[in-house]
Amino acid sequence: MHDLQSWHKAFDIKPLRRTVRRAMFTLILALLSQGVPSIPSILSDTGQHADDVMLQQADKIDIQWFKMEMRVGPNYMEKREGILGMSWAHFFTMSFLVRFFFGALIAYH
């Protein structure tokens, strides 16, 4: 019995808990800081709009080339219909699923 008490005193779990807490805090802080821009990138935002416009134009050229190469007909071209560019069938299906989800949450709580 004496050996068990001395082993328990020798194996103090408090420093281990403190280490685990610090590691978890550091991990969460690192994950949360991934989306935060750094100060130099915020201050050097002067030419960002021109770069964005050039990238959008390059994307349009790439898409046009792809459609020509694949011989995509005009009946398959992208059309904006419905809400947020979704087809009406897709919009109503998704709204039904969202309503069903919240209804199930309310029913089970």
Block means of pLDDT (10 residues each) for the chain, 109 residues, are: 60 73 83 66 59 76 83 70 78 94 91
Do the domain assignments include residue 22?
Answer: yes
Do the domain assignments include residue 55?
Answer: yes
- pTM for the whole structure: 0.31
- Segments forming the whole domain that contains residue 32: 2-37+51-108
Do the domain assignments include residue 90?
Answer: yes
Q: Coil, strand or helix: which one is 19?
A: helix
Provide the domain count of the chain: 1
Euclidean distance between CA atoms 89 and 79, whole angstroms? 14
Q: Which two tokens stand for residue 74?
A: 């005009």
Do the domain assignments include residue 46?
Answer: no
Q: How far is CA 32 from CA 12, 13, 18, 38, 82, in A?
A: 32, 29, 21, 13, 35
pLDDT at residue number 94: 92
pLDDT at residue number 107: 92
Do the domain assignments include residue 70?
Answer: yes
Do the domain assignments include residue 77?
Answer: yes
pLDDT at residue number 24: 85
